[in-house]
Amino acid sequence: MDTIHIQGKIALQGKVRIQGSKNASLPILAATLLTGDNSVIRNCPRIADVYSMVSLLKSLGCGVHWQENGIVIDSSSVRKCEMAEEAVTGMRSSLCLLGALIGRCGEVVMEHPGGCVIGARPIDMHLSALEQMGVGFTEKDGRLRAEASGLHGAVICLPFPSVGATENVILAGVMAEGDTVLEGAALEPEVLALCRYLRCCGAVIEQNAKGRLVIRGGRRLRGCEFNVPADRIVAGTYLFGCIGIGGSVLLEEAPREEMGAVIEAAKQMGGQVCCSPEGIYVQAPMRPNPVQLETAPYPGFPTDLQSVALAVETLGNGCSCIKETIFENRFRIVEDLEKMNAKIRIGDSRSVCVQGVEALHGAEVCARELRGGAALVVAGLMAEGETVVKGCQYIYRGYENIGRDFRELGARVASV
Ligand code: EPZ
């Protein structure tokens, strides 16, 4: 099922439940290694990246099984600290196992995770921070070996609020001897969810609003039961989908308190957005207003919704400018959108201007990465005629079933 067929120009109506957060689930599943105990992680999304993480945990010796709507992990018998090559190079988020395995085993052998379509995605900040905590790294034939005979706390300052580097420092820090002060930490909701899980296991992690974390090390952690929050990026994808094609939808369980910048952008586009304990209700006109958007670390506009916003503004009632400040190559869908009659001018590699057109035309397009693929599905909803999106295996890395969800909102979408 790696192709999605969409018959466009049908306004969305109805309600859809938002799945659990991919980017919260993955580091929390890695963190279960630190307890040597049983944990139950509920509301994990049934997506390819979670399945890959589960396989990785099993390969390390954990007992893992799915139950009703969660995953049970027994990390009492982690027997090795080496990760299979295909597991790491195929999924960058396995990088959060680096900090967890250093914390649990004191050593790790893994493939260098490498880059992907959206950027080179170096790991210099991860390595530099962990080295300050006593971790020694060597690299041979593309494999990274980390060893930490005496993992200790440190005062670390990140040059950029890297989500992954922050998570690795937290995962190693809770097991280190002494305290770790992390300045310039990422404060994305997914990082804070990881901190909540670890506190539930007995860790002491203090934070202030300016990106300063104090991780108290050396405590014995025990397993716990934890609910993963809803996925703010999936919620934002469907929110902008409604803005793009028009209609009125309820996004059940959407994490509205984590979506301030997204909701603000949706309102600027002309959507009427109301938040309630049920979730986010949005009513949208047939044609979005143009906007000026710039991605930024949380609480700024999330880079993971930049492609979807770009797709929506191809039908905007004017010219929109979008600036991507996080990744260096996140406009790959421009060529596919232009196949659909979009009018987009790329400035430098970090900014584009979109001149809204009267109509998008259905076409055969190809997903190259997760969020760009979701954006092409949204463009298909907005286009006249049929759009065929190939390469949807990328989309299933982060969305349980984007076709099913849009069908629940009245769209004519078939996954084949
Ligand atoms: C996380 O990736 C997310 N992935 C990404 O979501 C998200 O786009 C990104 O954070 C930014 O919010 C997961 O949580 C699994 P970063 P991560 O480290 O941790 C540079 C999705 O679609 N950098 O905050 O890899 C890096 O190249 C994915 O769900 C260094 O230079 O992102 C990038 O330009 C895509 N050196 C910027 O920082 C480093 O050591 C932000 O990266 C680390 C990062």
The stretches of 251-343 forming alpha helices (DSSP H) are 260-268, 306-313, 334-339
Task: Name the residue of 56, 121, 128, 330 to mutate for ligand 1: max ligand atoms within 8 A of Cβ.
Answer: 121
**Taking the CA of residue 268 as centre, how many other CA atoms within 13 Å lie in the half-sphere pointing to its CB?**
16
Q: Do 173 and 136 meet the contact criterion of CB atoms below 8 Å apart?
A: no
Q: Is the CB of 23 under 6 A from ligand 1?
A: yes
Nearest CA to ligand 1 atom 4: 23
H or E element at residue 144 = strand 143-147
pLDDT value at residue 233: 98
Sheet holding 364-366, edge to edge: 364-366, 386-390, 3-7, 412-415
* Residue-level pLDDT at 86: 62
Closest C-alpha to ligand 1, atom 9:
163
Ligand 1 within 6 A of 373 CB? no
User: Is the CB of residue 371 below 6 angstroms from any atom belonging to ligand 1?
Assistant: yes
For residue 93, give the ligand 1 atom closest to its CA.
15
* C-beta separation of 349 from 331 below 8 A: yes
Kindly give the number of the ligand 1 atom that is closest to the alpha carbon of 127.
Answer: 40
pLDDT of residue 200: 98
Q: Nearest CA to 22 among 301, 254, 228, 252? A: 228
**183, 212 contact by CB (below 8 A):** yes
pLDDT of residue 270: 96
Q: What is the pLDDT of residue 279?
A: 97
Q: Quick one: pLDDT at residue 83? A: 72
Of ligand 1's atoms, which has the minimum distance to the CA of residue 233?
A: 29
Q: What is the pLDDT along the chain (416 residues), one digit of tens a residue?
A: 799 999 999 999 999 999 999 999 999 999 999 999 999 999 999 999 999 999 999 999 999 999 987 899 999 998 777 776 666 656 677 888 999 999 999 989 888 776 677 777 789 999 999 999 999 999 888 788 999 989 999 999 999 999 999 999 999 999 999 999 999 999 999 999 999 999 999 999 999 878 899 999 999 999 999 999 999 999 999 999 999 999 999 999 999 999 999 999 999 999 999 999 999 999 998 799 999 999 999 999 999 999 999 999 999 999 999 999 999 989 999 999 999 999 999 988 799 999 999 999 999 999 999 999 999 999 999 999 999 999 999 999 999 999 999 999 999 999 98
User: Is residue 261 a contact partner of residue 236, using CB atoms and an 8 Å limit?
Assistant: no
User: Ligand 1 centre from 19 Cα, in Å?
Assistant: 21
- For β-strands 136-140 and 143-147, DSSP reports them as antiparallel
Task: Confirm or reject: Cβ of 56 under 6 Å from ligand 1.
Answer: no
Q: Of these residues, 81, 96, 105, 116, which one is catalytic?
A: 116
Active site residue 105: no
Q: What confidence score (pLDDT) does residue 120 get?
A: 74
The reply to whether ligand 1 has any atom less than 6 angstroms from the CB of 125 is yes
Q: Kindly state if the Cβ of 162 falls inside 6 Å of ligand 1.
A: yes
